Structure 1
Amino acid sequence: MKKNCTTTCRRTNLRCCNEFKFIQEIVEDISNSKLNCTPLFVTRYPVGINSRVKTIISNIESNEAHVIGIYGPGGIGKTTIAKAIFNKTCDRFDGFCYLENFREKSGANDGVIELQETLLFEILRDKNLKVGNKYRGTTMIKERLSVMRILLVLDDVDKWVQIENLLGRCDWFAFGSKIIITTRDKHLGATLGKCFSAYEVKELDQDEALELFSMHAFQSNKPKKDYLELSNQVIQYTKGLPLALVIMGADLCGRSKPEWKSAIDKYERISNKEIQEVLEISYKGLDEIEKDIFLDIACFFKGFSKKYVIDILDSCDLNPIYGIQKLIDKCLISVDQYDKLSMNDFLQQMGKDIVRQESPQLPGERSRLWRYEDVLDVLTENTVCIIFIHFSNGICSVFFFFI
């Protein structure tokens, strides 16, 4: 009798243990499912976002391309738009995953493996999946996800090889799947042909810029009347770059008018450190010749015709035809309708600051001089100077090289 009682207790305990484990698994599945459906935080003040998201979603739905590139310079709002698109469309797919800081993570040790495991978990919700190495991970992703219609967002991609390391080829996805990438390089998906479609993020217009700035500076959708003129000065300076509007709005919030005037004067002379750190990411990704071309344009050639600049830089063995196109692809410069080189004021200021930091106190030690006062100071210090004078179409350009 005692033996039977003991056996019964064991069976009861085993059944209770199994039931508890079963219930625990159900709770975890529900919890994971709810967590997976939780929308991403987009931004505090989504000014100008909805119209851009609507346009891109409309284009995505009418386009058979399964890789969508959202490109533009740093601080333009690519990540914000990608998150908003993800929130609005993820429930239309069998599985979805948003991988942030992709450039940074894919470059770290074991970063690709971590990204692969995150991708598999986010879509399959199996926390026991381990890929071992990136080659096995690529195979696992293809085998397990190729039968599913998925949405995958890769935020901040700067090299196509990063995507290949994660996924291998991109032609195995089920029909209707979409890979959305944010990048500063519009040339990134050129090798994919019809499989790739790119959309450029434009700056905010005047009204949108004023509203976004006001939300951060005044917690209102428009500025105070006695600050309107100063606010418009900031809007003019930022040229519709959301990052700059947010940082400057927060910086000026609650400050007096004299402080505003002093701050605006400083902005126009010295780059804001937070803004410059974001913009410098693109510059640091260039090779040395491309960096030289960028700095030359920032210091001397903004507003000059593309052909004229190519002629000048070609004589310096800088291979400008290729180099200038690379800068255009990286959204560091642009060419207007009159074939003149253009550059965002923040990028130009960043370029000049890079040169200035070569020797903050001694202009003669810098690689380039563009201010009359600095040139005069250097010449009067008996520095050996080579002066190059170039005439073209009635325009005289003078360049100084110091040795």
Structure 2
Amino acid sequence: MALQSNKAGPSRSTLSSNHGGFEYDVFLSFRGEDTRNNFTGLFHYILVLHGIHAYFDEEDLHKGERIEEILVAITRSKILVPIFSKRYAESHWCLREVAKMVECYDGGQDRQIIPIFFDVDPKDVRCQSGPFEAAFQKHHQTERRDTLSEVNAWKHALTYVGGISGFDLKRYNEDQRKLIRSITADIQNILVTKVPLYEKEYLVGLESRVEKMLKCLDFQSKHARIVGIHGIGGVGKTTLATAIYNRSRCLFTATSFIGNVREESRSKGLVYLQKQLIQDICKGKDKVEINTPSQATQKIRDMVRLRSVLLVLDDVDDKKQLDALAGDISWFGPGSRIIITTSEVHERLRICYDHLNDDEKIIFLDIACLLIRKSSEDAIYVWEDQKLSPHLAIKSLQNKSLIKIKNGKFEMHDQIRDMGRQIVLKESYPHSGRSYVRLWCEEGVMEALTKSQVSLDLAKLKLN
């Protein structure tokens, strides 16, 4: 298996909105007069852009008529975000919301409270001092005696939430955009870990491959990039792509994993896969009628050009599939990453192999399975004893760039070696009824020796 990266200059399936039975990913509590048309409005827009389902009250004037509806929404939200501003505590409705948050809080097992201290100090929230002190003095003066217990509940809630480590705008040098990016990433990390794609367990060397892949992807770069994973079937290309997708999807505004592209495109057609991609990007909200590949292609281009997209296309074997689903890297917004898994390289190599004569095929497979970094001179004596023509075959293989001889020893590119071994495996696999012809690893030798029901012809065995 090999990784290839294609860089370009400037030119997450989606996050679920039903985590553990919650209707909303996030509930935003804020005083509308303070932050609706600036910080909170922008924050809500960014959450929506990232596919995060947030409850955002847009009808502050009628809030009193709908307070029970709002309190129910809090109980149906996974992440509760009170945005504390200087006049937050003046609002009865805001205080009832934060009290409800504390009432619902379960210590972080299923629900999280993440406070934002917009233009107030956490200590003022915690101790009801500063601008919060004046607000509560007014509450004590104006509230009826039978409702003072509710005022005390508000104070308790502020004391509790003010003690939670949250996000303080002052720590971001008053840069609201940096604060929004930071808290959005935090929210994504909480949500995305709950909905991973399935990863096969115990794949040998997975973590080292993931690390190598992450270096190729280089998420720090704002340029769009394509990375290819190619190799013979069964070496873990899909598992690696799935692992990368699960670990990095939270970094993107839109994500999609299109699996079994080769099979699905032939059985259901490219338009079916294009529709799947469109639905992933728009998070199932866009019901645009798509009837032709060209319509779908234009729709995809329009949707991805301003987004940072993580797209995985698994098992691609035809350029038409790439043209339909990913087109050109210039389609995608800054920071996008397209991961493609394919065995197409080996298909092309197989065509080259099929055009070899019989002697060349035998010698090529012997080298691929048994003789890399072994003496070419010793091997030639063996092949001559088998009535082969090794000198002509070796020259032909060298001319076709299938092998090299360096310091008297055979060398072969890993991709070519893997293709050769895959051919041997298919020819000698036990269920095929054929004998084992070449064995190059301990596991293969042990399997062959223990399969007593198979008639074995151990023609060539690699001995270390």
Taking structure 2 as the reference length, the TM-score comes to: 0.40
Q: Which has the larger radius of gyration?
A: 2
